[in-house]
Amino acid sequence: MAAAGAVAQSTVDLSGLPAFLKSSSSTNWPTLLNIGKQIWSDPEVGLDETHAHDRIVNYFSSIAGWTVDGSAYAGLPTAFRAEFDNRPAGFTGDLPTVGFLAEYDALVGIGHACGHNLIALNGISAAKFASEALAHFNIPGRIIVVGTPDEENAAGKFKLNNLNAFADSEIWLMAHPTTTSAIQPMNARLNYFATFVGNTHPEAVANAYSALNIVQNLKGLPGTSSSAVGIENVGVYATNIVQTVIQLGVAGLSLDTVTNTVSSILDSTYPNVTFSATTDDNGVALTMNGPGGHASDATKGPLVLSVNTFNALKNTAGVSFYLPGNISINELDITIDMRTRYTTDLNSVANFVSAALGTLPKSISHDVQYPALEVTPFLGQEFVNIVGTADYGLTNFPISTFAPASTDASWVQDPVLDPVSHNLTSAAKAVLHANFGICTNASGAGCAFNHEPGFKNLANTDFAYAQTEIIARAEAHLAVELLANPADFQKATAILSN
């Protein structure tokens, strides 16, 4: 119905739109920016984003013309829906609609190291700017903002999609901060949760580490750009983060022998990884430190060092392994984060991993898959055209085929691809997921990547907030253009009817 409403409109002169959006931003940005900074300062993990939710709901509830439901979706108390309708006198058709997505969950243990404070800030800012432009230019249209909790670990948008949260708009816009700018696809993702047991604590540790070694050395994964990475479910961890601190105990060897073994393994291929070794009541306790990041990152980190230490010592007579501080447990769980470029290959990757693990795990379960996100025709190019103009000034915004990570926004898009060519043939919704750089070096060099602890600080810099403001204005521009121009609206939603 939204597309039909768009056809009934006449086009509007939008030559003054960029200047108007700048004016809207100058008025509204200080308040919006404060919300973004508060979210960063008060990080909350998925389904516990109470303060972030309340700040945004209170903001929209205080603005005339917005209808807000802070508990719009059953079972997701930190989700919300805000709506603005502009119906000029005499307009009787269905209002064309554009939706914005706002994420605000933080990462376990390291806060907003993925920059979701900026995703929320972008979504609410673009929606506010666009709503004021609709009223100013007398354009019939509806703006919806959906607050989408728990993107990091449990695919909150999957749950929202099942609750029809995205049914009222054919177009959804969002933007995600990272080190470099691009309109690009995102990988499909699935997590296995494997349980390993033993008659003794050392046996359980050995079984789990044997599995981590298998996963670490997998060859010939099916699919395109596929990866499988193990994560030790001990201490502070999350399903999509490789830990920055790993502890492994070695019993049966001297401190010098263990220290020399680890030192011989640790070379320049482990960037910024360090270790320390001390004796305790059970043997030699190793603590390995280094950068974390996405589980799909191929960089050698502390967990890789611990697995290679296990491999180097496991066949030594009299040697066993333990977890310092956890020697009473006879069970150890690991997560296996699997990613591949195309959703259709995800089951093959999972079956490959299962076959490689064999009978080592006592049990395996899995979470909800994240389908691959595809670049929606027209939307991505039109955004690049807008953001590269002098009014926005971001000329280095390529359209790329490289998929750097995954996103549950793919559940909103729900793309269908040709099984042979992998060309996008249809989608449930037209989705723009713009990745924008917040590193002052346009190449991203020298900046921490998403999910590394250093990215948390990057997401709270003046430059990051300035980039977010530009992207918000550009996405507001795109939304208004789509709502004012029936031809553009039809181009953006053409993929839905294929």
What is the structure's pLDDT at 239? 67
* pTM (2 d.p.): 0.95
Distance of alpha carbon 275 from alpha carbon 205, whole angstroms: 20
Instruction: Pull the structure tokens for residue 126.
Output: 């673009």
Q: Please name the helix (run of DSSP H) or strand (run of DSSP E) that holds residue 124, with its range, or none.
A: helix 116-136
| Residue 157 vs residue 301, higher pLDDT | 157
Q: How many CB atoms sit inside 10 A of residue 398's CB?
A: 12
Q: How many CB atoms sit inside 10 A of residue 217's CB?
A: 10
Residue 295: pLDDT band (50, 70, 90) is low
Judged against a pLDDT cut of 50, whether residue 474 lies above it is answered with yes
Instruction: Pull the structure tokens for residue 24.
Output: 């809207």
Q: 440-469, pLDDT tens digit by residue?
A: 999 999 999 998 889 999 999 999 999 999
Instruction: Pull the structure tokens for residue 96.
Output: 């064309």
- Residue 350 near residue 306 (C-beta atoms within 8 A): no
Judged against a pLDDT cut of 90, whether residue 399 lies above it is answered with yes
Distance of alpha carbon 227 from alpha carbon 30, whole angstroms: 42
* Integer CA distances (angstroms), 174 to 12, 163, 287, in order: 24, 20, 40
- Residue 428 near residue 162 (C-beta atoms within 8 A): no
Q: Please name the helix (run of DSSP H) or strand (run of DSSP E) that holds residue 467, with its range, or none.
A: helix 462-484
- Residue 68 near residue 57 (C-beta atoms within 8 A): yes
Judged against a pLDDT cut of 70, whether residue 299 lies above it is answered with yes
What is the structure's pLDDT at 109? 85
- Residue 113 near residue 453 (C-beta atoms within 8 A): yes
Q: 117-164, pLDDT tens digit by residue?
A: 999 999 999 999 999 999 999 999 999 999 999 999 889 999 999 999
Question: Helices 302-313 and 201-216, interaxial angle, to 10°?
Answer: 110
Residue 236: pLDDT band (50, 70, 90) is low
Judged against a pLDDT cut of 60, whether residue 8 lies above it is answered with no
Q: How far is CA 474 from the centre of its chain?
A: 21
Instruction: Pull the structure tokens for residue 31.
Output: 């308040």
Query: 234-243, 257-266, 360-369, 470-479: lowest mean pLDDT where?
Result: 234-243
Q: For the chain, how many residues are written? A: 498
Judged against a pLDDT cut of 60, whether residue 9 lies above it is answered with no
Residue 497: pLDDT band (50, 70, 90) is confident
Helix (H, G, I), strand (E, B) or coil at 182: strand
* Integer CA distances (angstroms), 269 to 170, 226, 299, 306, 446, in order: 47, 21, 8, 14, 17
Instruction: Pull the structure tokens for residue 395.
Output: 């000329």
Positive or negative, the CA dihedral 217, 219, 225, 230 is: negative
Q: Which residue has the tokens 């430190």?
A: 289
Name the class of domain 2-186+371-497.
alpha beta
Q: 151-194, pLDDT tens digit by residue?
A: 998 899 999 999 999 999 999 999 999 999 999 999 999 999 99
* Integer CA distances (angstroms), 348 to 295, 296, 408, in order: 19, 17, 20
Return the percentage of the chain with pLDDT > 90, whole number.
Answer: 89
What is the structure's pLDDT at 4? 38
- Residue 158 near residue 46 (C-beta atoms within 8 A): no
Judged against a pLDDT cut of 80, whether residue 326 lies above it is answered with yes
Question: In terms of C-beta density within 10 A (0-12 exposed, 13-18 middle, 19 or more buried), how is residue 354 classed?
Answer: middle
CATH 3.40.630.10 segments of the chain = 2-186+371-497
